[in-house]
Amino acid sequence: MKALVFLLVLGNLLFYAFSAGYFGRPDNPDAGRVEQQVAPDRMRIVSRGEAPAGAPPKEAVVEEVKPAEELPPVTKTEPEKPAAPEPEAKVEKTAVCLSWRPLPAADADRLATLLSKRFADFKQSRKTLPSEGNGWWVHIPPLPNKADADKKAGELRDLGITDFFVVQDVPARFAISLGVFTNEKGGQERLAELKGKGVRSAVLAPRPSKDSLVTIQARGPAGDKAAILAAVGQALPKSEALICK
């Protein structure tokens, strides 16, 4: 084993000495290369740093750079807005005005009650035609019902007025009497006094009696005209309805 190691070390030393030139080198270092050439007689020098004669010079090839095709401008398209719904056609509700005149007070009360119960959409107005010789009175015209009459009475009390009463009998039911006078002058003085205290709805008129006649107007949907005429004609056969404005 030691002999093998010794031989390996000795071989390495000899190779190093040979490669380092301890055993001698030729004067021309390229001499060894000549011996290594393969077929040197077939080698031919073409040129020494110059292009060989007859060889066309190389032209630089310049590639034409074509401009990029222009793209059409991009236009932003807004999303279509949904069409606004068409407004619904408004159905106009036409009104009709009906008038019954002249009616005795009792018949007028029956007509007013019928309209209130069966045709509540109709707004009523009532006017009494007083008979002559009963004097004059200051009053607030008849109100539609007792509740409205009581409300108006409360407003009078708030103004400091207490000498009044709500009429319960026909033909001026639910009117508010503010004074009865034998002549027109006395009534005018009372009316001026009430106006000064803030009463705006009081009027002066001849005093009605039980023999007075009453006119009633009702205004409501035109579609109920036939029904209301039929109902009133059945309840009051002698009544006559007129078209009013």
191: how many CB neighbours lie within 10 A of its CB? 20
The pLDDT of residue 89:
44
CA distance 219 to 98: 6
The pLDDT of residue 45:
62
- Helices assigned H by DSSP within the chain: 2-19, 31-36, 105-118, 146-158, 184-196, 225-235
Direct distance between the N- and C-terminal alpha carbons of the chain, in angstroms, rounded to an integer: 146
**Fold classification of 93-127+212-245 (topology level):** Alpha-Beta Plaits (3.30.70)
Q: Are 124 and 214 in contact (CB under 8 A)?
A: no
The pLDDT of residue 73:
58
Helices (H) and strands (E) in the chain, counts: 6, 8
Listed in order, the ranges of the chain carrying CATH 3.30.70.120 are 93-127+212-245
Element spanning 234, H or E: helix 225-235
The pLDDT of residue 119:
92
Residue that is written with structure tokens 């007025």 in the block = 161
The pLDDT of residue 50:
58
pLDDT along the chain (245 residues), means of 10: 76 71 58 59 61 54 52 56 54 80 83 89 81 78 89 92 86 86 90 92 81 85 92 90 86
CA distance 212 to 144: 19
The pLDDT of residue 12:
76
The pLDDT of residue 194:
93
Task: Indicate yes or no: pTM above 0.75.
Answer: no
Q: State in words which class domain 131-209 has.
A: alpha beta
Pair of tokens at residue 224 = 């109920």
